[in-house]
Homo-oligomer: A and B are copies of this chain.
Amino acid sequence: MEKGKLYLIPVPLGEEALHTIPTYVIQRIHQLDFFIAERAKTARRFIKRTEPQRPISDLTVFELDKHTPESGIEDMLRPLREGKDMGLMSEAGCPGVADPGTLVVDAAHNLGARIEPLVGPSSILLALMGSGLNGQNFCFHGYLSPKKPELAKQLRAMEQQSKRHRQTQIFIETPYRNQSLIEQVLNVLSGSTRFCVAADLTKPSQYIVTKTIAQWRKQKIPNLHKRPAIFLIGDF
């Protein structure tokens, strides 16, 4: 029996950013009955905002997190095995990038199902585009350590790696720790290193600024408390 297709559905980076989702993605969402998402409630809220013809209650949404066991993922993929298409969604951004969606894509590959990534917003990619730092060679590290001495070590290692390979280093932080992260970056890195702060991407309050560490030290640190942000460093 032919397997269903797994559609990877990007989700806007904020409530007000539905315009960032191409029409063909919305149309695809409206054709699917089965979804996998991190939180069923926010997934249903997003689908509802795309104005489907059918009641949301007709849809099945399976919940996935990084602790979901392999057997749980196999259960979720039953529709796919039975030839039905499914949609995988992230909480915000692209599934499989900085989220647990990878587990599902991997399992779908093992089933021999077709994978169809759809186009939409990724804060990592938008930040890289907007940074002006090298986009021909870059590395995304996810979250760094919350412990100050370890964080300082990681930042210095990234600065070295950036210099050695002309490679942009990208990382994130939980939004309530943005301010202390920026302070630590300005303390630890050398004056000539370039540092980009990209926050609230695709929102009206979007902020993307790249300066050298020396320039950043001379100005007031922007207030990014609780605003989702991406950080990039480049030293070349």
Contacts and interface: CB of A to CB of B under 8 A. Distances in A.
B95 A129 contact: yes
Chain A interface SS verdict (over half): mixed
Number of copies: 2
A208 B115 contact: yes
Contacts of A117: 126-127, 129-130, 201, 208
Interface string A97-109: 1110110011111
Given A23-B23, A117-B201, A105 B122 contact: no
Contacts of A131: 96, 105
Contacts of A116: 130, 206
A24 B21 CA distance: 9
Contact of A135 (B21, B24, B96, B107): B96
5 contacts: A8-B129, A21-B22, A94-B129, A114-B208, A119-B119
Interface of A: 8, 19-24, 94-99, 101-102, 105-109, 114-117, 119-122, 125-142, 167, 201-202, 206, 208-211
